[in-house]
Amino acid sequence: MAALPTQPAAAQESAPPSGAGGAPPPPRRGVLRALGRDPGAVLSAAYILLVVAMAVFAPLIVRMSGWGPYEFDQTAVNPDLGGVPFGGWGGAGGEHWFGVEPGSGRDIFARIVYGARVSMLIALAATALTTLLGVVFGLLAGFFGGKVDWVISRVMDFLMAFPALIFMIAILSALPAGNRAVLLVVVISLFGWPYLARIVRGQTMSLARREFVEAARASGAGRATIVFREILPNLRSTIIVMTTLAVPGYIGTEAGLSFLGVGVVPPTPSWGQMIASSVSWYSVVPTYFAIPGAFLFLLVLSFTVLGDRLRAVLDPQGVR
């Protein structure tokens, strides 16, 4: 997990939030206000919004900065010294804001901006898919119990016993390059959902025995109604917290897989792949790894902090 969190790091340490079962979730406005008073949460949210904006408006931003993510600038690198960028700080300056990639002279700023697209897209898609699978299977197992529970629980045991990272790399390297982004999402989600499902299952089990569920059942409500009207709303805060805490893990996993060369296909920029190609240059052009490294670190940090604070607000009795 240290390397490539396949399960959200913080999720592992969190016992199921104990508040989720009883009290109705706090009103949304209250949550936002509470978070707004927390400087850490505000800064994190601001940075996440910045990255999202970068991803969404990438073409516009790049038009402003003047260089596309794929454009070679041979005049910015020194062909006689192995393609090292001219000038200090990796060739940073008015022309190339963050400098250029050694060898090709591609603009690092543009590649960071476009790399944000890849990172966010894959992480968010994987989170969505994981959440869907985790909630559905967790609910099924928790609500129906018996054989359904047994089968789902064994599948979860099986997936969690798997050396996920090694297996993900192996699968991705063996598969044809085709659409790596989709593959990444599928593979990450496949090994990610049990961690959410396990918690959803536990809470569903305890909720299903609660009085208000019994009452609904007694009043003749159908299974679907009970699940969607009574149980799911009570799981909301758990799902929100778990999901926020899962995103940084997936961002890290995508970057890590790209770092190991089994992520997105070149020349598509991705932060992990940028860091990978900077490894051999780290002592000559430190900015080449420092810039994508810092962007990646801050994004993961922001999601972690935000998730932490969300949990504190949504679940005051839970683990601090």
Q: 3-state SS string over 181-192?
A: HHHHHHHHHHHH
In whole angstroms, give the CA distance from residue 2 to residue 12: 12
Number of shown-chain residues binding other proteins (CB under 8 A): 79
Binding segment for other proteins among 107-115, 160-168, 205-213, 230-238 (CB under 8 A)? 160-168
Using CB under 8 A as the criterion, what x/- string covers residues 87-126 for binding other proteins?
Answer: ---------------xxxx---------------------
Task: Please check whether residue 186 is in contact with residue 171, taking contact to mean a CB–CB distance below 8 angstroms.
Answer: no
Alpha-carbon separation of residue 224 from 146, 212, 232 (angstroms): 18, 15, 10
Site for other proteins in 242-261 (CB under 8 A): 248, 252, 255-256, 259-261
Using CB under 8 A as the criterion, what x/- string covers residues 56-75 for binding other proteins?
Answer: --------------xxx-x-
Q: Is-cis flag, bond preceding 267, omega within 30?
A: yes
Site for other proteins in 185-244 (CB under 8 A): none
Q: State the minimum distance, in angstroms, from the CB of residue 305 to other proteins.
A: 7
First to last CA, the chain: 21
Sorted by sequence, the CB contacts under 8 Å of residue 85 that are 6+ apart come out as 76, 77, 78, 91, 99, 100, 101, 102, 105, 285
- Position 301 contacts other proteins (CB under 8 A): yes
Which residue in 27, 37, 39, 80 binds other proteins (CB under 8 A)? 80
- Position 284 contacts other proteins (CB under 8 A): yes
How many CA atoms, within 13 angstroms, populate the side-chain half-sphere of residue 1? 15
Task: Please check whether residue 142 is in contact with residue 202, taking contact to mean a CB–CB distance below 8 angstroms.
Answer: yes
Report the residue number, 30 or 82, with the smaller CB distance to other proteins. 82
Report the residue number, 225 or 280, with the smaller CB distance to other proteins. 280
Report the residue number, 243 or 278, with the smaller CB distance to other proteins. 278
Which residue in 161, 211, 219, 220 binds other proteins (CB under 8 A)? 161
Which residue in 163, 222, 233, 316 binds other proteins (CB under 8 A)? 163
